[in-house]
Amino acid sequence: MGGHSHWAGIKHKKAITDSKKGKVWTKIVKEITIAAKMGGGDPDMNPRLRRAIDDGKAANMPAENVKRAIQKGTGELPGVNYEELTYEGYAPGGVAVLVEVTTDNRNRTGDEIALIFTKNGGNRGAAGCVAWMFKPKGYLAVNKSDAKSEDALIEAALEAGAEDVIADQGDVYEIYCATSDLDKVKAALAKKFPVASAEAIMKPENTVAVDEATAPKVLKLVELLEDHDDVKSVWANFDIPETILAKLAA
């Protein structure tokens, strides 16, 4: 996944400290609400809800906001009826893009997502056009500065149930596991190393090499999609060299 996962890490850190805190909170509230609706309001019994609450804490969301979102999800309080949808398409350079949304108006959201694609050199495709290129995985990142021994980190990750550890992604070790094992692996690793991030992702099976001329167009489209109020996650299979990413992230 190369440059994509590195950019995802940059974006994740940016989102938590983003000045547009209200937008970040809105997205987390939606995720907490739908997680509680689908799996119940007890985070100890609902891993998805627990991760959403952790994101809320990282974004300094007041506990009362979290509580209300859970209660709306469980039906204790009246709330909006959200549904989860996935849109698919292509960015410039033939990069495959998956867009996960949580919306209370699928027609409005679908039209707006399609417009973002077409106005930025991409196109929204039919259901199934790119989804087959991605597989659900658990993803964790540990800062290399927090893991003095690469061998110790790899051993701990594999013992915890990880499937793969990637050591050549900039300043982090990237750890992949089955989505169902994400919380177990995170808990085991956290006993020995600070875990910088842990999330359920859609990992591309293959990547598309993107050159310096195309990279800004691809990343602009991805960022505009991410900034949409209804968008939960954006996954893409671009591979942008670290040198280009560093220039663009500066």
Residue 164 lies inside a defined structural domain of this protein: no
At 209, the pLDDT band (50, 70, 90 cuts) reads very high
Q: Which residues, at least 6 apart from 243, have a Cβ–Cβ distance to it below 8 Å?
A: none
Residue 99 lies inside a defined structural domain of this protein: no
How many domains does the structure of the chain reveal? 1
pLDDT in tens, 77-136: 998 889 999 999 999 999 999 999 999 999 999 999 999 999 999 999 999 999 999 999
pLDDT value at residue 94: 96
Give the other-Cβ count within 10 Å of 11's Cβ: 17
Residue 39 lies inside a defined structural domain of this protein: yes
Q: Which domain covers residue 27, as residue numbers?
A: 3-74
* Stretch 44-63: mean pLDDT: 92
Q: Domain of 19: which CATH number?
A: 1.10.10.200
